[in-house]
């Protein structure tokens, strides 16, 4: 009996499907007309949409754990008891760089950099506001009084730059690995102005490189500053002691007894000690300078965007296909729900 009921239910479902198929077939001309209308609409949107240019930059991040020349110099320095900052931290690991390039600090620092676009040199954020018509919208809506980022930065400026950063990261800026096998990272940004797109990605990677240099060489610079200050201090003290030693030696030329030459002997020993200390400090100072020079930027650029940039326009054929698909889907859905509602009313 249960098997019989299942057969009846399956038969009912097949009858219903056949009924809906016949109903939709009767409406085929309406469905086709709506699909064509949406297809034309999709093509029109693609044709009339604003042209955008995509600037793409590729780079690699060196392995911070690789020793190389810097590791060798650090090993030599360690023999003298000095740590010159040769040990790299993981702050700038490859995975972290993907997120750091999107961080507010790096993006805002990029926007506050002066660049030349269309022959006009200005802050990148000023170019952005002008090219995207944001200042013009402010004037029309009367939201803000004229604001310039050349003035003293206030909370309003911070709010505007924060909104721009959020818009860039959420909608436009793309940082991704090109493939799982290679360690090449791709950085891309689209804009209605190709010069703005190119300048932004180049300055952004430059800001990241500067951040790395400051971070990576901080310990080495601290060591270098300490050694330089110590060398200057010892050299100044050595010069004073040598001068005093020379005066005492001139005075003691006729003195024969050792007790009378005691001051001279003490100063001579002081000169020798300071001279030895100064030579050791100078040796370590020069070694620290060489080590610091070996701290090369962790980001190596492979390809930079070259003008003219490729237009990142929507494909007319793809837009038309998507429009036709959407039109067909909506029309079919409309007729199906219409019949469902009609059948439900008839059963009641």
The verdict on residue 112 lying in a domain is yes
User: Which pLDDT tens digit goes with each residue over 118-150?
Assistant: 888 999 999 998 888 887 777 776 666 667 888
Domain of 227? Answer: 221-293
Q: What is the pLDDT of residue 112?
A: 92
pLDDT band at 312 (very low <50, low <70, confident <90, very high): low
pLDDT band at 316 (very low <50, low <70, confident <90, very high): low
Dihedral sign from CA coordinates of 274, 275, 277, 282: positive
The per-residue pLDDT of the chain, averaged, comes to 77
Q: Are residues 68 and 197 in the same domain?
A: yes
pLDDT at 217 over 90: no
Residues 147-158, mean pLDDT to the nearest whole number: 84
Q: Are residues 125 and 58 in the same domain?
A: yes
CA dist., res. 248 & res. 323, Å (int): 100
The verdict on residue 302 lying in a domain is no
Q: Are residues 23 and 130 in the same domain?
A: no
Which of 76-85, 105-114, 289-298 tops mean pLDDT? 105-114
If one counts the domains in the chain, the total is 3
Q: Are residues 188 and 230 in the same domain?
A: no
List the alpha helices (DSSP H) in the chain.
2-26, 28-48, 68-79, 94-100, 104-111, 124-131, 134-141, 155-167, 194-216, 218-251, 262-293, 316-347
Q: Are residues 31 and 108 in the same domain?
A: no
Q: Are residues 35 and 142 in the same domain?
A: no
CA dist., res. 330 & res. 326, Å (int): 6
Q: Does the global pTM surpass 0.75?
A: no
Q: Are residues 161 and 229 in the same domain?
A: no
Q: What is the pLDDT of residue 199?
A: 92
Q: What is the pLDDT of residue 244?
A: 84
CA dist., res. 216 & res. 201, Å (int): 22
Q: Are residues 177 and 244 in the same domain?
A: no
Q: Are residues 104 and 180 in the same domain?
A: yes
The verdict on residue 309 lying in a domain is no
Q: What is the pLDDT of residue 110?
A: 92
Q: Are residues 67 and 135 in the same domain?
A: yes
Q: Are residues 117 and 225 in the same domain?
A: no
Q: Are residues 81 and 170 in the same domain?
A: yes
Residues 312-328, mean pLDDT to the nearest whole number: 73
């Amino acid at each position: 009996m249960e098997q019989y009921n299942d057969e009846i239910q399956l038969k009912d479902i097949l009858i219903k499907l056949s009924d809906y198929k016949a109903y939709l077939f009767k409406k085929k001309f309406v469905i086709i007309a709506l699909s064509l209308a949406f297809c034309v609409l999709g093509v029109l949107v693609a044709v009339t949409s604003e042209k955008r240019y995509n600037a793409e930059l590729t780079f690699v991040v060196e392995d911070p754990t690789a020793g190389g020349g810097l590791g060798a110099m650090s090993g030599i320095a360690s023999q003298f008891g000095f740590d010159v900052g040769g040990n790299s931290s993981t702050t700038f690991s490859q995975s972290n760089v993907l997120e750091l390039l999107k961080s507010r600090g790096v993006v805002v620092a990029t926007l506050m950099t002066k660049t030349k676009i269309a022959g006009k040199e200005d802050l990148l954020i000023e170019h952005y506001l002008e090219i995207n018509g944001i200042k013009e919208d402010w004037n029309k809506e009367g939201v803000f009084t004229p604001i310039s980022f050349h003035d003293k930065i206030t909370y309003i400026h911070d709010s505007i730059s924060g909104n721009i950063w959020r818009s860039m990261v959420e909608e436009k800026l793309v940082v991704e690995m090109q493939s799982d096998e290679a360690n090449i990272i791709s950085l891309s940004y689209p804009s209605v102005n190709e010069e703005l797109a190119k300048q932004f990605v180049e300055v952004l990677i430059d800001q990241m490189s500067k951040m790395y240099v400051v971070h990576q060489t901080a310990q080495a610079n601290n060591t270098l500053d300490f050694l330089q200050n110590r060398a200057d201090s010892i050299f100044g003290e050595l010069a004073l002691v040598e001068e005093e030693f020379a005066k005492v030696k001139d005075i003691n030329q006729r003195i024969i007894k050792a007790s009378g030459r005691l001051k001279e002997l003490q100063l001579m020993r002081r000169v020798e000690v300071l001279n030895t200390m100064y030579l050791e400090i100078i040796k370590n100072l020069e070694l620290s300078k060489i080590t610091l020079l070996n701290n090369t930027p962790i980001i190596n650029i492979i390809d930079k965007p070259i003008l003219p940039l490729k237009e990142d326009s929507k494909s007319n054929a793809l837009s038309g296909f998507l429009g036709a698909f959407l039109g067909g889907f909506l029309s079919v859905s409309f007729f199906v729900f219409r019949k469902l509602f009609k059948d439900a009313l008839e059963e009641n």
